[in-house]
Amino acid sequence: MVDVATSNSAEPVDLTTIPISPDGAHSKPQHDSVNSASSDNIITVFDDPENFNVKHQLQNKWTLWFTKPPSGKQDWNELLKEVITFESVEEFWGIYNNITPASELAQKSDYHLFKTGVRPEWEDVQNKHGGRWAYTFKNSKANDEVWLHLMLAAIGETLEDDDDNEVMGVNVNIRKAFWRVGLWTRTAGQSPKGKAAEGADPKESQKRLERLGKAFKEVLQLPAQDMVEFAGHAESAHTGSSRAKAKYSL
């Protein structure tokens, strides 16, 4: 589990501030009716999608962020919106089923799903020493199933070993000629701080990131010849581009 600091961002915005579902409907996540169910019987969302009284807690709290397309010269902070925080399986599905699919987002839009307390920015104190595994799908529309599977792998804590303490969040970028998914990490392959040099494996951090990269590639179900690439946030910030030179490739 990653220990994260309390977020200092602005108040979360309502779901109505991001694109509505393609059919134009607005509806509340299904978990809002949880208290209406009888407490005498255990009812899950699989028994009754509207009147359940049991929620399946996630290991961490997660926050969904949205980057809206720029309408002029705007700072990143003006475009990045904190949407909603959740901590159960049922809440996730309630949110996912009531927002626009990635495939329907406008160009230059992004979704970010990060552990609560971590902003999806290179400069965030918990990201600045980290990096990102990424893969770019060219000349195609975003695949909602791929993005969903990546989110589920993140919130289900299946991408890393229990003691790895690396995953910070995942995101999807929608662009004119491509769409890209990323897996953000706490470190960028440097040796762990505070660990005694004697007896420590200097390449353990790299091995940990490579395990993550392989898991990331498996979730995306990519052919063996397709490469996922890792770049550090410091390098990306220095070049001013998310396409910084790859540090690792798998």
Higher pLDDT, 105 or 241: 105
Higher pLDDT, 91 or 51: 91
DSSP codes joined into one string, 211-233: HHHHHHHHHHT--TTS--EEEEH
Closest Cα partner for 114 from 144, 84, 77?
84
Q: Which domains does the chain have, with CATH numbers?
A: 15-249 (3.30.760.10)
C-alpha 131: how far from its chain's center? 13
CB neighbours of residue 191 within 10 Å? 15
pTM, to two decimals = 0.78
Average pLDDT over residues 19-30: 39
List for the chain the helix, strand, coil content (%; round to 5): 25, 25, 55
What is the biggest distance separating any 2 CA atoms in the chain, rounded to whole angstroms? 61
3-state SS assignment for residue 206 = helix
Average pLDDT along the chain? 81
Is residue 178 within 8 A of residue 107, CB to CB? The reply is no
